Amino acid sequence: MRLKFIASTLLSLAVANAKLIMIIRHGEKLNDKVTNLSEKGQARADCLIEAFGQNGVYATPQKIFAQSPSEKKQSTRPRDTVIPLANSLGLQVDLSYTSNKVKKLANDIENSSEEVILISWSSDKIKDIAEKFGIKKAPKYDNDAFDDIYIITDNTIPFVKKTGVNITPNETRFGKDGMNLYIVKENVDECINRVISSINNKSYNSASINTNNVSNNNNNNYNSNNNYNTNANTSNYNGQAIPNNNSNYNYGNTNNNSQVVGNGQATGYDQNTSNYYNQGTQGTDQNIYDESSLTNSPQSNNTGNNDYVITSDSYILKTSIIAIAGLVVAALCIIY
């Protein structure tokens, strides 16, 4: 009877202390000088929900530990890697242990009430943690890998919970007290690709919207700067858009290469050159027109704002001759 009681007690203690410990490395980093996760590392953190969440492939942790930042190791990557998973499970991440406190970490986990534990740590100490749980000559964590899971178990609790999924360990090591180490993959690469693709698509769409807005603004500015063309037909003159002001008159060629502006009305007269000009331009860029280039006579439809008649030296000369002739005729009539 006594032997039976002792065996039963030992069995109950073994069951009570059954542990499934899963150790992961933090997600990807930009470089050793940056303390947080890279874009891929953050995507991995989000995808750990598919690995360890309520509907995940592996056993769902009851408690999550992460390496705490310290003055010597300021990286927040171990913590940041498990934050999304912890939030999805309603758990707090335990940050009570810094990088070198792996012995205390292992002792406290062995004496804890939780059976399924997830640990997020830096790669250089994962081997040491495994050995603290009784694994003999645990392999060093691959420095180029970010997706290996070190699973330490006495096989009391299955580490794969999803029905129909078969996981074959890449490596197996044995330890004392029936504890074994299985190295498996997180298997979240497809999820990571989806997350990154989604981020890139959102960035691209956002950039496209901004580009369209800039393009629209540029078009608006162009139209705004060319308001004088709003109700006018334009023609090309020396590569410049010239407003025709809805009049049916073609001014033809000007005597300089400046752009024509205004409504074509002659608003000034130069006594030195006997030329009318448009005051819409300044100085030597006065737009002087040759009467011979007009396609319609000055007398045609000369009403309203279409004060388009601009005379030249030849026109003034003709007018002067006619006036003098008139005076001569008047004088002769008086004499006779």
pLDDT tens, residue order, the chain (336 aa): 454 444 444 444 443 468 999 999 999 999 988 999 999 999 999 999 999 999 999 999 999 999 999 999 999 999 999 999 999 999 999 999 999 999 999 999 999 999 999 999 999 999 999 999 999 999 999 999 999 999 999 999 999 999 999 999 999 999 998 999 999 999 999 999 999 999 888 766 655 555 555 444 444 443 434 433 333 333 333 333 333 333 333 333 333 333 333 444 444 445 455 444 444 434 444 343 343 333 333 443 444 444 434 344 544 555 566 667 667 666 676 765
- What amino acid occupies position 320? S
Query: Whole-model pTM?
Result: 0.59
Residues 179, 276, single domain; the answer is no
pLDDT at residue 154, as a whole number: 92
Residues 38, 176, single domain; the answer is yes
Which H, E and C letters describe the chain, residue by residue?
CHHHHHHHHHHHHHHHCCCEEEEEECCCECCCCCCCECHHHHHHHHHHHHHHCCCCCECCCCEEEECCCCCCCCCCHHHHHHHHHHHHHCCCEECCCCCCCHHHHHHHHHCCCCCEEEEEECHHHHHHHHHHCCECCCCCCCCCCCCEEEEEECCCCCCECCCCCCCCCCEEEEEHHHCEEEEEECCCHHHHHHHHHHHHHHHHHHHHHHHHHHHHHHHHHHHHHCHHHCCCCEEEECCEEEECCCCCCCCCCECCCCCCCCCCCCCEEECCCCEEEECCCCHHHCECECHHHCCCCCCCCCCCCCCCCCCCHHHHHHHHHHHHHHHHHHHHHHHC
Q: Is residue 8 part of a domain?
A: no
Q: Is residue 128 part of a domain?
A: yes
pLDDT at residue 266, as a whole number: 44
Q: Is residue 205 part of a domain?
A: no
Q: Is residue 213 part of a domain?
A: no
How many C-beta atoms lie closer than 10 Å to residue 291's C-beta?
16
CA dist 225 → 218, 220, 259, 278, 326 (Å): 10, 8, 15, 21, 52
Q: Angle, to 10 degrees, between the axis of helix 189-225 and the axis of helix 39-52?
A: 130
- CATH code, domain carrying 45: 3.40.50.1240
Per DSSP, what are the bridge partners of residue 235?
A: 242
Residues 173, 239, single domain; the answer is no
pLDDT at residue 35, as a whole number: 95
Q: Is residue 209 part of a domain?
A: no
Q: Are 264 and 246 in contact (CB under 8 A)?
A: no
Residues 140, 236, single domain; the answer is no
Domain range for 329: 231-335
Q: Is residue 43 part of a domain?
A: yes
Residues 147, 236, single domain; the answer is no
Residues 38, 104, single domain; the answer is yes
Q: Is residue 6 part of a domain?
A: no
Residues 167, 56, single domain; the answer is yes
Residue where one domain finishes, among candidates 149, 169, 195:
195
Residues 251, 142, single domain; the answer is no
Backbone angles phi, psi at 208, to 5 degrees: -65, -40
Instruction: Give the closest residue to 186 by CA, choosing from 95, 82, 63.
Output: 82
Q: Is residue 215 part of a domain?
A: no
pLDDT at residue 255, as a whole number: 39
Model confidence pLDDT, tens digit, residues 57-89: 999 999 999 999 999 999 999 999 999 999 999
Q: Are 78 and 94 in contact (CB under 8 A)?
A: no
Number of domains in the chain: 2
How far apart CA 53 and CA 167 sit, in angstroms, is 17
Residues 236, 119, single domain; the answer is no
- Length of the chain in terms of residues written: 336
Residues 55, 137, single domain; the answer is yes
Residues 187, 235, single domain; the answer is no
Residues 184, 252, single domain; the answer is no
